[in-house]
């Protein structure tokens, strides 16, 4: 069944981008969201690209689930639907870009242009002054058709530094102000990106301090409204009526798209959450979903939770479905060896061992051929696995012809490094759990 489009819905909106990574996009987006939320406004935030970690921070900043906007992985129609539904209820929509404004294919600029959302350039001012204006001018004029909201300087060292930045700002470019260099604003990082929101004990005061700084810039004012149009959408098929899915969710297993959970529920599934770190038993479920995360940071705890490992082994032996992505797959192997040489004995449902690496070993979009059809997916990992298990299939890379990630099938267990976006093929997603 389909529902038809409605008249466009206006809502103030801003796309937060930068010349590249590490300019402070997430910090500024979170600060903006928190500042306006503190003014009593309902703020909905989105993340461009397939990232998991930034949305955790942004969700804490705005108080609502943060969904991805990715033109390849989820498609234009789904992006349009998500934005339209947000515009119906929000006072402000913020979209954080990925990497630099023009990096990738499709890139952040494609999203901003397609939905006519003005782009703000956040530029780290460390080590530059007047030249920052040249960088901003290049971003504003590199590609026609992109609305440019202006530039915000980040890590400004002093009032004099701010004056020098303003001196170099070309006429016609809106300088929205500078955020001072302050260690209170900095969000900690590790090998896959930012540290998870739950692991930053002082996240609230960090966000509040950054939000206070936003109040002294022109970003304290709401941006102009953008009209978001709806699009014709199909109602998700009821493929999982009465199916109860156990979803692992804790600091070891947290890389999961909010839209995946939304779709499972929309297809009729009931979700029960559990923690492989702290729970000793599984909830009463038909299927298991083990998302990615950081199992390598919790080797001793996962190893010592013998009861949970036994519960997963029993679930498998009963012939019930298990779907595991990236870190979830590593947990199902016999062991994980971290970068310091520590080994943790894992569940042992999959023969083989994971070995953490110092460098990135997998990155990019891939088509994932699953038993029920092809899902669109993304991979990003710092480990390798050694296993005698023969892959049932391989992912197909979007941008080159080299072999993609292995997809393993063992009875009713499906595992891979790939993080799949379920709405790209609801039928294929449903068959992983029934």
Active site residues: 326
Beta strands in 100-147 (DSSP E): 119-124
Q: Is the dihedral of CA 4, 10, 12, 13 positive or negative?
A: positive
**From CA 130, how far away is CA 147, in angstroms rounded?**
23
> Helix, strand, or coil here: 91?
coil
Taking alpha carbons only, the member of 363, 360, 359 closest to residue 398 is 363
CB 146 within 8 A of CB 113: yes
The rounded radius of gyration (Å) of the Cα atoms in the chain is: 22
Taking alpha carbons only, the member of 66, 360, 74, 63 closest to residue 193 is 360
DSSP of 234-288: EPPP---TT-EEEEE-SSSEEE--HHHHHHHHHTT-EEEEE-TTT-SS--S-SEE
**From CA 6, how far away is CA 406, in angstroms rounded?**
43
Helix (H) / strand (E) element for 111: namely: helix 108-114
Taking alpha carbons only, the member of 241, 252, 249 closest to residue 273 is 249
């Amino acid at each position: 069944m389909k529902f038809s489009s409605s008249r466009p819905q206006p809502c103030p909106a801003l796309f937060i981008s930068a010349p590249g990574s590490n300019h402070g996009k997430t910090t500024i987006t979170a600060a903006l969201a928190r500042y306006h939320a503190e003014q009593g406004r309902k703020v909905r935030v989105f993340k461009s690209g397939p990232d998991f970690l930034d949305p955790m921070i942004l969700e804490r900043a705005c108080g609502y689930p943060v969904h991805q906007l990715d033109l390849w992985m989820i498609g234009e129609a789904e992006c349009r639907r998500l934005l339209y539904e947000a515009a119906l209820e929000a006072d402000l929509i913020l979209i954080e870009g990925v990497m630099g404004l023009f990096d990738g294919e499709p890139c952040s600029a494609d999203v901003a242009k397609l939905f006519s959302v003005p782009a703000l350039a956040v530029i780290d001012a460390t080590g530059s002054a007047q030249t920052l204006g040249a960088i901003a001018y290049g971003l504003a004029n590199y590609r026609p058709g992109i609305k440019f909201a202006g530039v915000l300087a980040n890590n400004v060292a002093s009032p004099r530094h701010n004056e020098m930045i303003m001196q170099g700002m070309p006429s016609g470019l809106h300088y929205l102000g500078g955020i001072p260099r302050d260690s209170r604003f900095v969000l900690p990082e590790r090998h896959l990106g930012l540290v998870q929101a739950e692991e930053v004990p002082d996240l609230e005061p960090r966000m509040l301090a950054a939000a206070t700084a936003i109040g002294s810039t022109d970003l304290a004012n709401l941006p102009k409204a953008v009209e978001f149009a709806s699009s014709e959408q199909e109602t998700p098929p009821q493929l999982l009526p009465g199916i109860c899915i156990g979803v692992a969710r804790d600091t070891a297993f947290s890389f999961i798209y909010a839209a995946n959970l939304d779709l499972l529920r929309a297809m009729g599934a009931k979700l029960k959450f559990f923690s492989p770190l702290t729970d000793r038993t599984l909830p009463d479920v038909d299927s298991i979903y083990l998302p990615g995360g950081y199992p390598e940071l919790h080797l001793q705890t996962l190893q010592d939770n013998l009861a949970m490992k036994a519960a997963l082994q029993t679930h498998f032996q009963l012939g019930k479905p298990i779907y595991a992505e990236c870190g979830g797959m590593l947990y199902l192997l016999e062991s994980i060896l971290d970068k310091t040489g520590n080994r943790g004995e894992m569940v042992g449902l999959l023969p083989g061992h994971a070995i953490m690496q110092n460098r990135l070993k997998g990155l990019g979009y891939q088509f994932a051929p699953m038993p029920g059809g092809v899902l669109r997916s993304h991979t990003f990992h710092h480990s390798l696995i050694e296993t005698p298990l023969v892959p049932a299939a391989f992912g197909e890379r979007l941008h080159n012809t080299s072999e993609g990630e292995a997809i393993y099938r063992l009875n009713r267990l499906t595992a891979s490094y790939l993080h799949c976006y379920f709405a790209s093929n609801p039928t294929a997603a449903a068959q992983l759990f029934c």
